[in-house]
Amino acid sequence: MLLNDPVRMNAYRSAIQRTVHAGNVVLDVGSGSGILALFACQAGAARVYCVELGPIIEVARQLAAVNGFGDRIRFLREDALRVELPEKVDVIQSELIGKSALGEAMSEILDHCRDRFLKTDGRMLPGEVTLRIAPVESSAAWAKSRLPDPSAYDLNFAPMQHLSDNLTTSQFIPSDSLLASGQIAYSYRAIGADNRDVFDALLEFRPSRSGVLHGFVAWFSAELAEGVTLTNAPPGISSWDHNFFPLPTPVPVESKSSIQLRLSARSDTKFAEAWNWRTVVEQDQAKIAQFEQSSFRGSLNLQEQVRKTLRAKRS
């Protein structure tokens, strides 16, 4: 439960105390239970607008009342991409951070709110979110992403092989399984940037030791305020595990190997989360492995959704 993760809660509370000043007007985007709005009131906010799509907003209203902040928080059950506010705000705060930064249409929603509602000298929390990815040696993580051994049930799973080869899995990856430091594949900057929930990054890793490459792990780092960073870097924290990107076949690597990864992704309100990862491993300048994988190929639901959208566009 998000409220029961002290790492997340303390980081947000401390960042809000540094960012929200007495008398400020605050917009809380995707407010859920309204916990960040309560923190903003504790920090001295004069008014907080809580915008939330879901029915949890009724519970948030009750929480505000029993904590004595009912008169300072306005609750709007609306889409943040459509909501209207009666005034501009000093601070926009949110927690729309996916386990690998993408996944909750953060850029699309927050750029929209910033451009519509933030005062020219206003502040945003988080200020920056990055996605890092690193090569991983973990036979345990890799085994969890595979189909069962046919001999275990005396069944043949071959028709599902292409699905399992192209699925990312949610797992906690231990820090000692990283074969190299993480590199930045995507960045969101709240102020002064046009952000998109899409990217295409080309990275090269040199392993820090010999081992077996089983796949990659991605995580986020969010700068909530100056000096306050929240991250699910391996081994992760209770609110966020990791996306593990498996290879179809493990590849032995050495410190002089070159692991080249082209990672691209898209996840906004028009398109469900989709990842592509293309891996090339070279040893002594000779290619020893190459794979091209895509969560689009691994998700029949996503394929059907795209077919429906294309059909609707044509008719």
* Closer by beta carbon to ligand SAM, 95 or else 241: 95
Q: Give the span between the Cα atoms of 152 and 303, in whole angstroms.
A: 31
CB 205 within 8 A of CB 261: yes
User: Is 100 one of the binding residues for ligand SAM (CB under 6 A)?
Assistant: no
**Least distance in Å: CB of 25 to ligand SAM?**
18
Instruction: Count residues binding ligand SAM (CB under 6 A).
Output: 18
Could you tell me which stretch among 75-83, 115-123, 169-177, 281-289 binds ligand SAM (CB under 6 A)?
75-83
C-alpha pair distances (Å), 51 with each of 36, 48, 126, 135, 293: 12, 10, 17, 38, 37
Tell me if 36 contacts ligand SAM by CB under 6 A: yes
In angstroms, the CA 108 to CA 241 distance is 23
Q: Which is nearer to ligand SAM, 80 or 141 (CB)?
A: 80
Burial of 95 per CB tally in 10 Å (0-12, 13-18, 19+): buried
> Residue 52 or residue 137: which is nearer to ligand SAM going by CB?
52
Task: Please tell me the distance from the alpha carbon of residue 314 to that of residue 155, in angstroms, as a whole number.
Answer: 42
Closest to 99 in 3D by CA, of 232, 199, 223, 3 = 232
Which residue lies nearer to ligand SAM by CB, 81 or 237?
81
197 lines the binding site for ligand SAM (CB under 6 A): no
- If one asks whether residue 32 binds ligand SAM (CB under 6 A), the answer comes out as yes
Q: Measured between alpha carbons, how far is residue 38 from residues 65, 74, 172 in Å? A: 10, 12, 30
* Torsion on CA atoms 168, 173, 176, 181, rounded to nearest 10: 50
CB of 304 to ligand SAM, least distance (A): 23
The rounded distance, in Å, linking the Cα atoms of 47 and 115 is 20
> If binding is defined by CB under 6 A, does position 54 make contact with ligand SAM?
yes
CB of 53 to ligand SAM, least distance (A): 4
86, with CB counted inside 10 A (0-12, 13-18, 19+), is exposed
Binding residue for ligand SAM (CB under 6 A) from 16, 47, 52, 232?
52
Q: How far apart (Å, rounded) are the C-alpha atoms in residues 212 and 303?
A: 32
Query: Looking only at residues 110 through 139 of this chain, which bind ligand SAM when binding is defined by CB under 6 A?
Result: none
Whose tokens are 């692991």? That residue is 259
Binding test (CB under 6 A) with ligand SAM, winner from 33, 168, 243, 267: 33
Contact between 148 and ligand SAM by CB under 6 A: the answer reads no
Is residue 179 within 8 A of residue 236, CB to CB? The reply is no
Query: Which of 190, 192, 177, 168 has its CA nearest to residue 97?
Result: 190
Among 35, 38, 134, 213, binds ligand SAM (CB under 6 A): 35
* Residue from the set 25, 41, 45, 80 that interacts with ligand SAM by CB under 6 A: 80
Does 50 bind ligand SAM (CB under 6 A)? Our answer is no
Q: Which residue sits closest to ligand SAM, CB atoms considered? A: 30
**Choice from 20, 27, 48, 51 touching ligand SAM (CB under 6 A):** 51
Can residue 235 be called a binding residue for ligand SAM (CB under 6 A)? no
Burial class (CB in 10 A: 0-12, 13-18, 19+), 315: exposed
Minimum distance, C-beta of residue 206 to ligand SAM, in the bound complex (Å): 36
Residue 73 lies near ligand SAM (rule: CB under 6 A): no
Residue 95 is a binding residue for ligand SAM (CB under 6 A): yes
Residues that bind ligand SAM (CB under 6 A): 2, 30-33, 35-36, 51-54, 56, 79-81, 95-96, 109
